[in-house]
Amino acid sequence: MITAKGLIQLGFTPEEDFSLRDDGDGVYIEEWRSAGLQPSEVEIEAAHAEWQAEYDSTEYQRLRAPEYPPIGDQLDALFHAGVFPADMAAQLQAVKDKYPND
């Protein structure tokens, strides 16, 4: 099976290097514009499988991300907990002093 993800995994860029088409009988490379050799379907399938394995292995990141507090809130909590190095804390405090929360 030819997929854009497989071709991207091989280092090719959609629109620039290739265009795909699906006429209902399966996806095929409609136009190959890359100066590099066109990979075989087997090479594309192997690259897609590699991409899929990497994608699946980071599912936890995609599931966690929307449930974390915004990064600004996380950093503010660390600042208030006194976790930052003194020089970073001083820079942050200078900004807070410049724009106080009245």
Mind listing the pLDDT tens digit for each residue in 14-34?
999 999 999 998 999 999 999
Q: Decide: pTM greater than 0.85.
A: no
Q: What is the pLDDT of residue 101?
A: 86
CATH code for the domain of 13:
3.30.56.60
Residue 102 has pLDDT above 90, yes or no: no
Query: Are 8 and 44 members of one domain?
Result: yes
Mean pLDDT (whole number) for 69-84: 93
Total domains in the chain come to: 2
Query: Are 55 and 22 members of one domain?
Result: yes
Q: Give the Å distances, CA to CA, from 92 to 71, 80, 96.
A: 15, 11, 6
